[in-house]
Amino acid sequence: MGAEEDNKARFARLITPYLSHAYRLARSITSSPTDAEDVVQEACLRAFRGINGVADANARAWLLTIVHHTACTWLRKNRPAALISVVDVAAVEAKQAKFDEQDADTPETALIAKSNRARLEAAIGSLSLPYRETFTLREVEGLNYREIAEITGVPIGTVMSRLSRARDQLDDMIERKRL
């Protein structure tokens, strides 16, 4: 029992503190709270099985890497269309239409600051998966480029271009449709 007990204590110490990060990332990738729950649960089992292989200082990025892989595998199996989604401007605009018309003359930056949660989530949710995930890891989770590159398995240069293009697209949506 000794070794197994160690693994449990190790999981509790290294992984439990980052479960909320894992959940938010899974939700960002799958765009669904329900799917995110399945993904996080499966990712945690994988993490538990591999808990001996992780260095203490790296636990958060390690867990999020597992969540990234688990979520992408899950999407390929269950919703392959989600992996090739592009920005569906019409859908976003329809979703946003009800929010407001009154901001027509407000400067763009003021509009962005005014965006409420639903608008912002819809705009971020309409980004394609790599942009959405990169933006979330940076602006919501506060990770640096190196960590994001490690988690999403791409070079830092790709992280940079995804991030600036994600921001551009969000700005575009806000500008065009007064999100």
Partner 1 sequence: MTNSTPSSSSDNSIQLVHAYMDGELDLTAALGIEEKIAADPKLAAERDRIIALREAVQQNLPRDPIPPTLQRRIENTIGLRQETSHPTWRTLAASVALAVLVTSSSTWLFLDSNAPKTMEGAIVAGHIRGLMASQPTDVASTERHTVKPWFNGRVVEAPHVADLASDGFPLIGGRIDVVGSRPVPTLVYGRRKHIISLTAVPNAGRPTSGPSVSADNGYNIVHWVTNGISYWAVSDVSASDLDEFAKLFRATQS
Q: Is 82 in the site for partner 1 (CB under 8 A)?
A: no
94 binds partner 1 (CB under 8 A): no
**In sequence order, which ranges of the chain are alpha helices (DSSP H)?**
2-14, 19-30, 33-49, 59-78, 80-83, 89-97, 108-114, 117-125, 129-135, 145-152, 156-177
| Burial 149-161, CB ≥16 within 10 A → b, else e | bbbbeeeeebbee
Determine if 113 is a binding residue for partner 1 (CB under 8 A): yes
Q: Which is nearer to partner 1, 69 or 167 (CB)?
A: 167
Collapsing DSSP to helix, strand or coil, 50 comes out as coil
Taking CB under 8 A as the criterion, the residue among 60, 68, 132, 178 binding partner 1 is 60
Do residues 143 and 112 make contact, with C-beta atoms less than 8 angstroms apart? no
- If binding is defined by CB under 8 A, does position 58 make contact with partner 1? no
- The residue (of 79 and 130) whose beta carbon lies closer to partner 1 is 130
When computed from its CA atoms, the radius of gyration of the chain, rounded to whole angstroms, is 18
CB 49 within 8 A of CB 78: no
Q: Which two tokens stand for residue 23?
A: 């959940």
Binding positions for partner 1, 9-28, rule CB under 8 A: 9, 11-13, 16, 19-24, 27
Contact pattern for partner 1 over residues 120 through 159, marking x by CB under 8 A: xx------x-x-------xxxxxxxx--------------
* 108 contacts partner 1 (rule: CB under 8 A): yes
Residue 139 C-beta: closest distance to partner 1, Å: 5
Nearest Cα to Cα of residue 115 among 61, 68, 175 = 175
Q: Which residues contribute to the site for partner 1 (CB under 8 A)?
A: 4, 8-9, 11-13, 16, 19-24, 27, 33, 37, 40-41, 44-45, 48, 60, 108-110, 112-117, 120-121, 128, 130, 138-145, 160-161, 163-165, 167, 170-171
